[in-house]
């Protein structure tokens, strides 16, 4: 009876142990996917700013500038989210610093051309565009973000592999626990029978 009680009481604990690797995998996936999403959102925001700038330079119409103005209000929050998620995922601070510098330089380049256009200096704005500085900065931003995504994918795969190894070890422990439980049940049944036989003989 004792063995049966032990086995029954240990069932919730064994169930939680069996679920632990799955829970850890889900948590790791959520953390990784949130970081990748924040990186993608930042790139999208910079793209919106660039789209608004181009439209405004071509037309001079204020409504074409709307995507740029919206991006300006979102870019700081997007960059801050990347920094927070990067820290949670162990991303080197240097990577985030380089990304933030490139984004700041890109936004400054966009603001400069917009301001020149607003001041009726279209030729100067187009001359700034033709320096190709904005395209170089955009390429740098894309390159850093692509590298961050690749590193995050590799980190997630590494976590998942470690959890699979832990799962295999846990399965061995659980199997041993089940075997031990049956042994306890067998011994409990045997001792109980011996006790009953001795009692009946007396």
The Cα-based distances of 114 to 22, 61, 108, 136 in angstroms read: 51, 11, 10, 18
CATH classification at residue 118? 1.20.120.1730
| Encoded tokens for 170 | 């846990």
Total tally of structural domains belonging to the chain: 1
Q: Is 102 helix (H, G, I), strand (E, B) or coil?
A: helix
Show the low-confidence residues of the chain (pLDDT under 70): 1-36, 155-202
What pLDDT does 3 receive? 45
Q: Which of 133, 149, 156 is nearest to 99 (CA)?
A: 149
What pLDDT does 50 receive? 94
Instruction: Find out whether 75 and 107 touch, Cβ atoms under 8 Å.
Output: yes
Most distant CA atoms of the chain, gap in Å: 115
What pLDDT does 78 receive? 82
What pLDDT does 19 receive? 52
Global pTM value: 0.62
Burial 172-198 (b: 16+ CB within 10 A, else e): eeeeeeeeebeebbeebeeeeeeeeee
Domain residues for the domain of 92 are 2-201
What pLDDT does 112 receive? 95
> Which residues, in sequence order, are CB contacts of 14 under 8 Å at separation 6+?
174, 177
What pLDDT does 195 receive? 58
């Amino acid at each position: 009876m004792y063995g049966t009680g032990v086995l029954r009481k240990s069932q919730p604990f064994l169930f939680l142990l069996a679920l632990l690797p799955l829970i850890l995998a889900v948590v790791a996936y959520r953390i990784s996917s949130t970081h990748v999403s924040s990186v993608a959102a930042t790139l999208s925001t910079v793209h919106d700013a660039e789209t608004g700038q181009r439209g405004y330079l071509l037309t001079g119409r204020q409504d074409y500038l709307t995507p740029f103005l919206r991006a300006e209000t979102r870019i700081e929050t997007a960059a801050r989210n990347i920094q927070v998620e990067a820290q949670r995922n162990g991303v080197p601070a240097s990577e985030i610093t380089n990304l933030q510098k490139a984004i700041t330089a890109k936004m400054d380049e966009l603001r400069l051309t917009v301001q020149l256009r607003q001041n009726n200096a279209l030729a100067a704005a187009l001359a700034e565009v033709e320096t190709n500085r904005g395209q170089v900065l955009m390429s740098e931003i894309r390159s850093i973000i692509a590298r961050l995504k690749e590193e995050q994918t590799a980190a997630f795969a590494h976590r998942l592999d470690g959890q699979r190894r832990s799962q295999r070890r846990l399965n061995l422990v659980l199997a041993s626990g089940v075997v031990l439980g049956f042994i306890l049940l067998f011994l409990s049944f045997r001792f109980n029978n011996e006790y009953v036989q001795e009692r009946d003989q007396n």
